């Protein structure tokens, strides 16, 4: 049995020697409105301060209809891109006068639903979600209850507003650059083909092949999920099938890249690794590898800012709008290390 006791306004009122109504008015900033004396105000505030008491945020939210909190649901806290998004989102929410509550779905629909229900029960004023399902009905029901916004992933053919990265254009530019040196093949490792980022990245890859005049051959596109072990397995299969490494390789996430590099490293093959390796997602540790890897970096701050601006607009009864944010290209294969 816990020995902790949660203080209530009734406790503060009793200790300060005032009525519950007086204590409530003082603690909720309404003392002047009801002409409560300065001495009484100070007695109540001192009692609350000495006992580390804070009025119930949930009760205040129910009374005012506003909690000044926002919810963010991301698939994985350990995913670099998602963690970067949450990290970028928190300070700008604070600057806008909101507290950010973050939960993880683990990319599982049941856990995602539980997280969303928990945030709604906490009376959040608006909700931002990186969806783990392409099913619009899963999210349309929530959008009828409160301002609801999709981040990083969109769901096509719905009215759900979103902010996503221009993955297609960035991948096309990067892969086309690799093919411009005369290579006649390119391989793509991807995951979760039903999600919009996967669709956009693969579409960008295929657009690069088309612009380079290459017809996609069987086996050039391989997909599982975005876990590290899948990158390892895809590299293992590709190396076995070809009897060598592909000359050009694009991985759809840094986790897949980690797995592919683990296979290459385990076999001591960095000397015969693919001539050009590219990936979606960037990390400073890529600067420390024995191979030069070009990377597409999502602008987490731009994603966060554009999402928050639109969500607050929805809270203030403005019509929802969607947006696409440019990505940054980090060129390590070029001697001058030029970025765009």
Q: Are residues 191 and 214 in the same domain?
A: yes
User: Of 239, 294, 282, nearest to 264 (Cα)?
Assistant: 239
What 8-state DSSP symbol labels residue 318? Answer: P
- The verdict on residue 339 lying in a domain is no
Q: Domain of residue 160: give its range.
A: 67-164+300-325
- The verdict on residue 330 lying in a domain is no
Q: Are residues 259 and 206 in the same domain?
A: yes
Q: Are residues 280 and 306 in the same domain?
A: no
CA 227 to chain centre: 17
Q: Are residues 135 and 174 in the same domain?
A: no
Q: Kindly report the CATH number assigned to the domain that includes residue 153.
A: 3.40.50.2300
**SS3 assignment, position 58:** helix
Q: Are residues 284 and 304 in the same domain?
A: no
Total H helices, total E strands in the chain: 12, 12
Tally of domains in the chain = 3
Q: Answer whether 128's CB lies under 8 Å from 309's CB.
A: no
Q: Are residues 81 and 192 in the same domain?
A: no
The number of CA neighbours under 13 Å toward the Cβ of 6 is: 4
**SS3 assignment, position 100:** strand
- For the chain, first and last CA: distance in Å? 60
Tell me the chain's radius of gyration from C-alpha atoms: 26
Q: Are residues 195 and 220 in the same domain?
A: yes
- The verdict on residue 265 lying in a domain is yes
**SS3 assignment, position 271:** helix
What 8-state DSSP symbol labels residue 41? Answer: H
CA 320 to chain centre: 19
Q: Are residues 178 and 287 in the same domain?
A: yes
42-46, Cβ contacts within 8 angstroms, sequence gap of 24 or more: 43/16, 43/17, 43/18, 44/12, 44/13, 44/16, 44/18, 46/16
Q: Are residues 124 and 186 in the same domain?
A: no
Sequence-ordered alpha helix ranges (H) in the chain: 9-16, 20-27, 38-50, 57-64, 80-95, 109-121, 137-143, 167-179, 196-211, 228-242, 254-266, 300-315
**pLDDT tens per residue, the chain (340 residues)?**
445 567 777 888 888 888 888 887 887 777 787 788 988 888 888 888 888 776 655 555 445 456 789 999 999 888 888 999 999 999 999 999 999 999 999 989 999 999 999 999 888 999 999 999 988 988 999 998 899 999 999 999 889 999 999 999 999 999 999 999 889 999 999 999 999 999 999 999 999 999 999 999 999 999 999 999 999 999 999 999 999 999 999 999 999 999 999 999 999 999 999 999 999 999 999 999 999 999 999 999 999 999 999 999 999 999 999 999 999 999 999 855 445 5
Q: Are residues 198 and 318 in the same domain?
A: no
């Amino acid at each position: 049995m816990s020995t902790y006791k949660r203080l209530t306004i009734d406790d503060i009122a009793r200790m300060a020697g005032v009525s519950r109504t007086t204590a409530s008015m003082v603690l909720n900033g309404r003392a002047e409105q009801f002409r409560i004396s300065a001495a009484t105000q100070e007695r109540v505030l001192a009692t609350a301060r000495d006992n580390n008491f804070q009025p119930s945020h949930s009760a205040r939210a129910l009374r005012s209809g506003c909690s000044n909190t926002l919810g963010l649901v991301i698939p994985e806290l350990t995913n670099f891109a998602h963690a970067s998004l949450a990290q970028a989102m928190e300070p700008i929410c604070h600057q806008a006068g909101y507290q950010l509550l973050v939960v993880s779905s683990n990319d599982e629909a049941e856990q995602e639903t539980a997280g969303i229900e928990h945030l709604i029960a906490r009376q959040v004023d608006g909700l931002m979600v990186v969806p783990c399902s392409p099913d619009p009905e899963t999210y349309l029901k929530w959008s009828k209850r409160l301002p609801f916004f999709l981040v990083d992933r969109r769901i096509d053919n719905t009215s759900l507003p979103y902010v996503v990265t221009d993955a297609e254009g960035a991948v096309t530019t990067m892969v086309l650059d690799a093919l411009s040196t005369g290579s006649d093949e390119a391989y793509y490792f991807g995951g979760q083909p039903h999600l919009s980022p996967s669709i956009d990245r693969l579409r960008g890859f295929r657009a690069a092949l088309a612009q380079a005049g290459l017809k996609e051959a069987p086996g050039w596109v391989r997909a599982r999920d975005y876990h590290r072990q899948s990158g390892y397995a895809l590299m293992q299969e590709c190396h076995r099938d070809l009897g060598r490494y592909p000359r050009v390789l694009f991985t759809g996430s840094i986790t897949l890249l980690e797995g592919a590099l683990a296979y290459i490293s385990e076999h001591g093959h960095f000397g015969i690794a693919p001539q050009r390796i590219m990936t979606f997602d960037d990390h400073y540790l890529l600067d420390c590898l024995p191979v030069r890897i070009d990377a597409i970096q999502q602008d987490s701050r731009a994603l966060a800012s554009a999402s928050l601006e639109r969500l607050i607009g929805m809270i203030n009864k403005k019509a929802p709008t969607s947006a696409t944010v440019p990505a940054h290209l980090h060129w390590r294969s070029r001697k001058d290390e030029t970025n765009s």
